Amino acid sequence: SYVLTQPPSLSVAPGQTARITCGGNNIGIKSVHWYQQRPGQAPVLVVYDDSDRPSGIPERFSGSNSGNTATLTISRVEAGDEADYYCQVWDTSSDQGVFGGGTKLTVL
Amino acid sequence: QVQLVESGGGVVQPGRSLRLSCAASGFTFSTYGMHWVRQAPGKGLEWVAVIWYDGNNKYYADSVKGRFTISRANSRNTLYLQMNSLRAEDTAVYYCARGAIRYFDYWGQGTLVTVSS
């Protein structure tokens, strides 16, 4: 089955840029989606189809995908961005959803 | 607005069964695929199952195949997950999520299932 690899944690200072990576074999040919999960809350979709944002998601959130790595970029990080972030793809060979292990973003 | 409300969680002994429900509102339920996703305590997200909009196709994670059954009642705007032969490792918060082709655009708040003797 398809495997997605994320760094377990990332720390950034307020106002800086956070880049969260998601590695997978030839992930660049897949559509990658990203979710934010704040403590005690349900996940929220923040980027879909590599780089599109749902309505209501700030422009500070952006995504890219190429080769073996997809990246979620959060510009001008704020305290409220502190959360777990998960990447996700759909494995069409098995018709199964696949999540990365998640990255805990800490705002210093 | 889209709302998904899960129910049916609780404490159950290993080997027993439990059925979860997810009541949907705020959108045309019968035109969307629906998913179950779970999260064990302190762990990451794990996709569990999907059912297509018309109920004709269902797919499962390898970890639950043969034990869990996803179903839906479009007339009642309700999604179900029948969980049989439960194991300790099935302990998790179970979320229902609306499917937008290959991702999940709305999530419920989840219901906790604890498998313990």
Structure tokens at B49: 């199952």
SS3 B88: helix
Judging by DSSP bridges, how do beta strands A103-107 and A9-12 pair with one another?
parallel
In sequence order, what are the residues at sequence separation of 6 or more whose Cβ sits closer than 8 angstroms to the Cβ of residue A55?
none
Structure tokens at B79: 């999604």
Looking up tokens 């990080």, which residue turns up?
A77
Given a contact cutoff of 8 angstroms between Cβ atoms, the answer to whether B42 and B66 are in contact is no
pLDDT of residue A71: 98
Given a contact cutoff of 8 angstroms between Cβ atoms, the answer to whether A37 and A100 are in contact is no
Q: H or E element: which one contains A49? A: none
Question: Is A9 at the interface with chain B, CB within 8 A?
Answer: no
Nearest residue on chain B to A97, alpha-carbon basis: B47
Taking phi over 0 as left and psi of -120 to 50 as alpha, with beta for the rest, A50 belongs to left
As beta bridge partners, residue B80 has B21, B71
Nearest 5°: CA angle at A36, between A101 and A74? Answer: 100
Rounded to a whole number of angstroms, the distance from the CA of B96 to the nearest CA of chain A is 10
Average pLDDT, chain A: 97
Nearest residue on chain B to A55, alpha-carbon basis: B105
Predicted confidence (pLDDT) at residue B101 exceeds the cutoff of 80? no
How many pairs of residues across A and B have Cβ atoms under 8 Å apart?
63
The CA-atom distances, in angstroms, between B100 and each of A23, A77, A103 are 23, 28, 24
Predicted confidence (pLDDT) at residue A10 exceeds the cutoff of 80? yes
Question: Is A36 at the interface with chain B, CB within 8 A?
Answer: no
Taking CB atoms and an 8 Å cutoff, what residues of chain A touch B70? none
* pLDDT tens profile B29-82: 999 999 999 999 999 999 999 999 999 999 999 999 999 999 999 999 999 999
Q: What are the phi and psi torsion angles at A34 (to 5°)?
A: -125, 140
d(C-alpha B49, C-alpha B34), whole Å: 8
B35/A98 CB distance under 8 A = no
d(C-alpha A14, C-alpha B116), whole Å: 43
* pLDDT tens profile A24-68: 999 999 999 999 999 999 999 999 999 999 999 999 999 999 999
